A = this chain, B = another copy of it.
């Protein structure tokens, strides 16, 4: 079977390429030449018998068809470029097919999701080292972006009000706060939701804010460790 190099086999296309002013000059499929002379659904075609002028309706329709074709090509390229990027990001060779690739992506996103949530659990004890981590959780049911911020440092009773003030100034709403102190150290874990005006980049603002907050905390150095008083406070 003889393939046609560019399958311009649309009924509309065929019609226009033979009856209208044809500026684009595409490949015309030989076997289709008697197409429009036959009787059928296309007898009442809107362009039937229209006058050939400078810019005919045929030209317009043909241009639209071409635009459509090119737009669709761009769309495909856009999608495939993302898929190619995923191929490089994921543990797989570059010749994996689309469906399998997407299956891997689903699996990977699930994994990473539960990894991050199990790492910064809401009930971990303070560690020996100063730590800050801000993770972007999934969106809540009503489309609000959720952050989980964890902050571990020397025990300071005046840190909590400062923390709340900081969050307020960043337009972040505290959904849940947990403070654990142990052996003179403290860990604050906060579940905050972002307002509509926030994007994923807000993690960096929050991160920096917490960092400067902790540095202020360290400047008022109180190296005494009270290993006796261990408490766990949950605000909810």
Contact = CB atoms under 8 A, between A and B. Distances in A.
A218 interface: no
Given A75-B99, A82-B102, A99-B79, A38 B46 contact: no
A135 B127 CA distance: 20
| Interface bracket on A | 35 or more
A228 interface: no
Contacts of A11: 9, 29, 31
B109 A109 contact: yes
Interface in A119-154: 119-120, 124-129, 133, 135-136, 138-139, 143, 145
28 contacts: A1-B45, A1-B46, A2-B41, A2-B44, A9-B11, A11-B29, A30-B39, A30-B41, A32-B38, A32-B40, A33-B38, A34-B34, A82-B102, A86-B102, A86-B109, A90-B109, A91-B138, A91-B145, A105-B105, A112-B113, A112-B115, A115-B135, A116-B119, A119-B120, A119-B133, A125-B129, A126-B128, A128-B128
A34 B113 CA distance: 60
Nearest to A88: B106
A69 interface: no
> How often does this chain occur in the complex, in copies?
2
Contacts of A112: 109, 112-113, 115-116
A103 interface: yes
A32 B135 CA distance: 61
Nearest to A11: B31
Contact of A109 (B34, B105, B116): B105
